[in-house]
Amino acid sequence: MTTGGPSVINPDSAVLRLYTRPGRPGPGERYEPGDALIRTLIQSDRFEVGIWEALPGESFWVDCHEHDEFQYIIAGEATVLLPDERRALTARAGEVVYMTAGTSHQTMNRGETMLRVLYCAPPNPIAVT
């Protein structure tokens, strides 16, 4: 994670951490469905950039942000559920999913291979219950 000035970041050197949905019950160090494994590459008071991975069948929890977010699919195939719109989008490696501010969404791996996503989002997502 950077702290200031121009720099080059190797994603493999970023610490892999468990990212739990806000307010979920249970120990924060134990993986539960809806949690994600994330490598945060850049974090500031305005945005966060990182890579998260999901095995087949895994998903990120439903959230939304006060500002726009994008997800670039590095590998695999992402299904992005939009619960408020009652529809889903599918994005494959090399494609970008763009969500405008206030869009509730849940990204999941319904494919058969590892899903790897580069994301840029505002810090502190708003939990959706």
CATH number of the domain that residue 102 is part of = 2.60.120.10
**Pairwise CA distance, residues 9 & 62, whole Å:** 28
- How many helices, marked H, and strands, marked E, lie in the chain? 0, 11
Q: Which residues pair with 120 in a beta bridge?
A: 49, 70
Lowest model confidence (mean pLDDT) among 4-8, 64-68, 82-86: 4-8
Residue 8 maps to a domain = no
Residue 114 maps to a domain = yes
Residue 60, both tokens: 């990120």
Number of domains in the chain: 1
pLDDT tens-digit readout, 26-78: 666 777 766 778 888 988 888 889 998 888 888 888 888 889 999 999 999 99
Domain encompassing residue 121: 14-20+34-127
Residue 1 maps to a domain = no
Within 8 A by CB and 6+ apart from 45, the residues are: 123
**Pairwise CA distance, residues 49 & 35, whole Å:** 17
